Amino acid sequence: MKISMKADYGIRALLDLAERFGDAPVPSHDIAARQHVPGPFLDQLLMTLRRAGLVRSTRGPRGGHTLSHPPEEVTLGQAIDILEGQAAQMECFSAPETCEHSFGCPIRSALLRAEDAVREVLDGTTLADMVRDRRQQGVFHGIYKPLPTTGPALPTGGAS
């Protein structure tokens, strides 16, 4: 499965807000800087997420953005559907009448099962799950730029 840059950037923004859920509103320029997302594009994505009800925006000097729901209630599937739309991966999924072999097609059947499995994972993965996984692993596989770590330095393993 391949997601668009739009979904990638939108998910980064949602994860940034999930990390700060319950805190003060986060200015979009802060999200853009932390997540390396172009500011004007991020503003468009945040507007899309706000219209869909996932993000709340506050104007003014202390304004910014927050998640509208706890991170435990927002799934990766929801986010991708909002940012990408529910596009079919193959034409035979969305318009089987265009293929003379679609009835009983073993390829279509296998791909539909695969799509169902992917959908189940996306719909079963929340923003809270992804933030927790990132914190446990210390890395987020490139889709998310982590918060800078604070606190005492870890020992390097050398002799004292």
Domain that holds residue 58: 5-86+126-137
Contact 48, 85 (CB under 8 A): no
Taking residues 103-124, report their average pLDDT.
85
Q: How far apart are CA 80 and CA 8, in angstroms?
A: 9
Residue 49 lies in a domain: yes
Residue 109 lies in a domain: no
Q: What is the CA radius of gyration of the chain?
A: 19
Residue at 39 is within a domain: yes
Is residue 158 pLDDT above 80, yes or no? no
Per-residue confidence at 160, pLDDT binned at 50, 70, 90? very low
CA 12 to each of CA 46, 79, 103: distance values in angstroms, whole numbers, following the listed order: 11, 11, 40
The pLDDT of residue 142: 53
42 within some domain: yes
pLDDT for residue 93: 65
The answer to whether position 72 is within a domain reads: yes
Q: How confident is the model at residue 13 (pLDDT cuts 50, 70, 90)?
A: very high
Q: What is the pTM of this model?
A: 0.76
Give the total number of structural domains in the chain: 1
User: Domain for residue 91, yes or no?
Assistant: no
Q: What is the pLDDT of residues 25-72, one digit of tens each?
A: 999 999 999 999 999 999 999 999 999 999 999 999 999 999 999 999
Is the confidence at residue 75, as pLDDT, over 60?
yes
**Cα–chain center distance at 146:** 14
Beta-carbon contacts of residue 158 (< 8 Å; ≥ 6 apart):
none
Whether the per-residue pLDDT at 88 is higher than 50: the answer is no
CATH code of 133's domain: 1.10.10.10
- Residue 43 falls inside a structural domain: yes
